[in-house]
Amino acid sequence: MSSNSFYPSDFDLHLFHEGNLFKAYNLFGAHVRNEKTFFTLWAPNAKNVRVIGDFNDWMGRGTEMKRVTSEGIWFLEIPKNLEGSLYKYEILSESGRVIHKTDPFAFMTELRPRTAGVVYTLDGYKWRDEKWHSDRHPSQIYEEPMSIYELHLGTWKKKGEGENDLYTYRELSKMVIPHIKEQGFTHIEVMPLTEHPFDRSWGYQSTGYFAATRRYGLPEDFMYFVDECHRQGIGVIMDWVPGHFCKDAHGLHHFDGGFSYEYENSWDRENYVWGTANFDLSKTEVHSFLISNALFWMDYYHIDGFRVDAVSNIFYWPNRDGLEANPHGVSFLKKLNKAVFAFKPEALMIAEDSSDWPQVTAPVHQGGIGFNYKWNMGWMNDVLDYMETHWNERSGKHHQMTFSLMYAYSENYILPFSHDEVVHGKKSLLDKMPGDYWQKFAQLRLLLMFMIAHPGKKLLFMGTELAPFSEWKDLEEVDWHLMDYDMHRCFNDYFKQLMHVYKNVRPLYELDHNPDGFQWIDVHNHDQSIFSFSRKDKKGNTVVIVCNFGDYGYGNYKVGVPETGIYEELLNSDDAAYGGSNRVNKTKIVTVEKEFHGQPAYVDINVPPFGAVYLRHVDDKGRN
């Protein structure tokens, strides 16, 4: 396109229809240049289109769009600077029905419940996160700690009880960033921020894929939030939903009276579980739309990557008998990942995938789907089922805590305890634990130590650091008042120390994706429900982990260790400072040089009830 016009070039049109216009946001939507405003739209089933807005009393007089291709590209140039104006598209369908739609490429929309697009330019923000980006390298993510704080901005903290009593992106940056730094997280994952009409969809049912929701402020306010995260060393991952969209009248559903964005066949189109419509991933124009959307958030908002929602709903046709692969969905995901990594090699592309589809995190050129991480849903389900089982019956489910190591290195995994596990009657993590008040806290401390020691990166939902008894209340803020209670305050002290240990002890993360970094010590102790294993780093430094999921503690418990010499206790979940019974190992521990558990030596240690112990090898002579 020329410097004075946004009129679509033949080449841009070819790329769009081919499915390869990966920066379609530079052409489609509303753009202001040289005191003129340009509108470009894809509406293949429209008979006529007019731009209506507050600049023409919503009447569309003299603002009829010109159809520039037979495939349904429409264009209009208005010789005015309409920056800040409200607008919609008035579409006359082939059946004669008049439809008013929000621009799919609108960079900003009105605050719900209003739905018009806003002519808005995103080029004015002055970024200050150059160091963050210059320090990123594609390979370093695999060998570095990654602890992700899943965040819903609307309920992290609220000003009041009303639906609009929300803190802004800028206000939240002053509170959220110091908090997650203090807690020890490396990244935040923000639940979907694309514009959405219904608060309690949490952003998963979107209408405005290119518009950051107005609930928390203007686009540049969210840019400021991301910028400040980066300046404080925090990565920002965005929850993203390329599989389906909501059916609200102003959105993508039946956009031009036909099925432009969704499948024409109702059996493939309808997502009966979520009451949404599935994107038609056989359409190359939809590829251009969605892949452009991913690049847009990285380009304009400096997002570091995406947690891609409901990937199994893309792998498989949702309404067909059995698991029938959707070749269009598979092809789209490969194309998406190739485009994202070509644009940003250090990006995080995380599949929220509950299926057993192979090679999800293998590169496309090696026959994989091309993500670089995948949520380990199997681990999460097995572990939570085990933890919710009374300890007297856990011996019968011993295998659920070990099975994940059979496939732990088949993909690059993230271990998730997300919002999905603490809402809709599923109970909080703390309340899932059986037993009395003390036993619940002890088992939650144990669970998190087991999680941190298990191979894979980590994700926890906001509030976990407080050990709430209540599940997520998606209309209220996190239970910050819990910090007034001793047990919760002690738990938070423990949580911060656990995350500090995780980030500073290389054996706990450096070989997360290499089987050389893990070894079972005792995997068969069903009767006592005790597991012991070791983690090591590239240099061979070792941490021994002992986890007791039973209610009985042990003194002088023998554990085989891979090195002789001196060990010291790195962390004990039963420390009195954290609310435990203080069955700790205060002094340095000297190995007995006798084979045990298949190891060359063993140690005698205190193993607390419902407790976990991390032991670090010092050296053969006890020097640090």
Q: Hey, which residues does 306 pair with through a beta bridge? A: 238, 349
Sign of the torsion angle spanned by Cα atoms 260, 12, 116, 239: positive
CA-to-CA distance for 293 and 279, rounded, in angstroms?
14
The number of C-alpha atoms within 13 Å of 419 and in the hemisphere containing its C-beta is 22
189 is catalytic: no
* DSSP classification of residue 565: S
Burial class (CB in 10 A: 0-12, 13-18, 19+), 374: buried
Contact 196, 274 (CB under 8 A): no
> Which among 475, 424, 104 has a CA at the least distance from the CA of 253?
104
Tokens of 553: 């503690």
- Catalytic member of 150, 228, 309, 353: 309
Q: How far apart are CA 536 and CA 281, in angstroms?
A: 43
Residues 423, 61: Cα–Cα separation, whole Å: 49
Displacement of CA 518 from its chain's centroid (Å): 26
Distance CA 355, CA 430 (A): 27
Gap between the Cα atoms of 493 and 501, Å rounded:
12
Give me the amino acid identity at 155.
T
Rounded to an integer, what distance in angstroms lies between the CA atom of residue 361 and that of residue 416?
Answer: 16
Annotate 189-258 with three-state secondary structure. Answer: EECCCEECCCHHHCCCCCCEEEEECHHHCCHHHHHHHHHHHHHCCCEEEEEECCCEECCCCCCCCCCCCC
Beta bridge partners of 92: 48, 98
Q: What is the 3-state secondary structure (H, E, C) of 249-290?
A: CCCCCCCCCCCCCECCCHHHHEECCCCEEEECCCCHHHHHHH
Q: For residue 153, which of 184, 176, 174 has the smallest C-alpha distance?
A: 176
Catalytic-labelled residue, pool 227, 285, 352, 569: 352
309 given a catalytic annotation: yes
How far is it, in rounded angstroms, from Cα 510 to Cα 389?
A: 32
Rg of the chain in Å (alpha carbons): 27
Q: Which of 595, 146, 49, 138 is nearest to 346 (CA)?
A: 138
Residues carrying an active site annotation: 309, 352
